[in-house]
Every structure is written in C-alpha cells, then in structure tokens.
Amino acid sequence: MITVVSGLPRSGTSLMMQMLGAGGIPLLTDSLRPSDADNERGYFEFEPVKSLARDASWIDSAEGKAVKIVSLLLYHLPPEHDYRVVFMRRPLAAVLRSQAAMLQRRGEPAPNAREDEALSIHLQRHLDAVDTWMARHPRLKVYSVGYEELLRNPPDALSGLPKFLDRDFDLHSMAQTVEPRLRHH
C-alpha cells in the first residue's frame, strides 16, 4: 500500500507529510527542493513525482511509504497498486492568495483579480473531477483533511488517520509539528 498526500499546492500537503513522518511513516522524499520562505521546513517532495505523467517507474519504491503528489498528477498513478490518499482541502480563495504570494517571491508576475477568478473556476472544476475519479478508482481510498481545521485542532483533524491507514500513530508527536507561525499566507 502506498500513502499519497495530495491536494492543491498551498493546501497543507507539506505539513501533512511532515506530520506523517513525525507519526512514524517512512517518507519518500529526496530533499532536492530546498526549504525557502514559502515552506520553511521544506517541501517533502520526491523529484521524480513531477514527471509521473511520463514515467511512473519509481512507484514501486513508494510501497509502504508516504509520497506527496499534487492532485493534477493523481490520474497518472499506475493502477496495479493500492493507494490511501490523504487529501488536503483548503478554501480556494486562501489557496490562490498563497500561490500569488509564492509566485511573487519566485519573481513571477502576480495574477490579477480577473485571472484569479478564472483560475478559481478551473480549480473547482478540477477538484470535482478528481473527486469523481478517486471515488471510482477500485484500489484507492480517500481521507480528507481541512487545512484550517488541522491548524486549529490537530488531534481532531487527525483522529481518523490511524484507522484509515491501518496503523498506530503517535498523534501527540504529529500534532506538535503544527506551528501556526508557519501557516501559508
């Protein structure tokens, strides 16, 4: 079984990876993307994931581990594995604000209100489609976690994870990784 942490970028996927690591799940990461002002504790990414659409040969190495995969790439998961997807949810307005700030820090032009409004429609359409796709996948189960709820009340937001991932967790250690100062703005 492969644990996948997914969602839109800036919805708390790195935080969830960090939490799962603190809870004792081995993480599939390579630390090639360094931490920065947008993710001070790191991105918890595995570089080959970015090319999942054309090369999934690494997927066997994710067995028994947790790997972060943005929602747009989930469709490319090879069908011959079992997946437990921890899907991070956050209001789209907050996701877009956070992405805009990140783009600016990367020297990219900031999207204007009209572009954000259009992208919000695109993101919602994508989330609806990916939810439908996940619900129909015969070997994939989903556990949704709200980013805001996770920051507000970690034990509550995490309470269903042990059953979902069929293992015991040190929920206290996991909850301690939340540092409100590092929330995505």
Is residue 32 packed enough to be buried (19+ CB in 10 Å), middle (13-18) or exposed (0-12)?
exposed
- Which positions from 113 through 142 interact with other proteins, judged by CB under 8 A? 118-119, 121-123, 125-126, 129
Interface mask toward other proteins for 139-158; x: CB under 8 A: --------------------
15: which residues sit within 8 A by CB, 6+ positions away? 147, 150, 177, 178, 182
Least spacing, CB of residue 24 vs other proteins, in Å: 27
Please give the single-letter amino acid code of residue 102.
Answer: M
Least spacing, CB of residue 49 vs other proteins, in Å: 9
CA–CA dist 66, 23 (Å, integer) = 11
Q: Which is nearer to other proteins, 124 or 176 (CB)?
A: 124
C-beta of residue 157 within 8 angstroms of C-beta of residue 149: yes
CA–CA dist 67, 77 (Å, integer) = 12
Give me the count of residues in the chain: 185
Quick one: which of 1, 22, 103, 151 contacts other proteins (CB under 8 A)? Answer: 103
Residue 56 in the binding site for other proteins (CB under 8 A): no
Least spacing, CB of residue 95 vs other proteins, in Å: 10
Least spacing, CB of residue 168 vs other proteins, in Å: 32
CA angle 71, 74, 75 (to 5 degrees): 125
Q: Which is nearer to other proteins, 18 or 98 (CB)?
A: 98
Binding site for other proteins (CB under 8 A): 9, 33, 50-51, 53, 70, 72-73, 99, 102-103, 106, 108, 118-119, 121-123, 125-126, 129
